[in-house]
Amino acid sequence: MSRANVDTVERAIAALNARDINGYLACCTEDVELRTPWAEVGGTYDGPAGIERFLNDIEDTSPDFRLDVRRLQAVGEDRVLAFIHSASTGRASGLSLAADTTNVYELIDGKISRVQIFLDHREALDAVGLAE
């Protein structure tokens, strides 16, 4: 299942970059949860309505927001670590923003049930039991 989970995460990220809400939600459970630390959109987004709100928040604050996957790594049977570089330009400020994050995707029956974005790589590794 771990390779299939990696494929699901790849499809979800591609859908997010394309702003394809239906494509993203097709990769998720009905009660999907997204936790993000970014102040511009921060907080927790629950369920399909929450994911749609997240995409709208991204579009409002930084319409060119994009995730570039550096590496995906299956962790056990139900989690995927995604090493991500994100880039965007603030709509109001015009400032270019970039961040490297480590995202933890938790999956149930091949669908994403939870995404947690970590700005600190070590915290993400701790979260999945791979602390160095």
Note if the pTM is more than 0.85.
yes
Task: Provide DSSP, 10-26.
Answer: HHHHHHHHTT-HHHHHT
For the stretch 38-79, pLDDT in tens is 655 567 889 999 889 888 888 888 888 899 999 999 999 999
pLDDT at 112: 98
The pLDDT of residue 91 is 77
Q: Which residue has the tokens 């997204």?
A: 34
Q: Does domain 2-127 match CATH 3.20.20.140? A: no
Tens of pLDDT, residue by residue over 3-30, are 999 999 999 999 999 999 999 999 999 9
Domain boundaries, the chain: 2-127
Average of per-residue pLDDT across 105-114: 97
Give yes or no for residue 80 having a pLDDT over 70.
Answer: yes
**What pLDDT was estimated at residue 37?**
83
pLDDT at residue number 40: 56
Contact 128, 121 (CB under 8 A): no
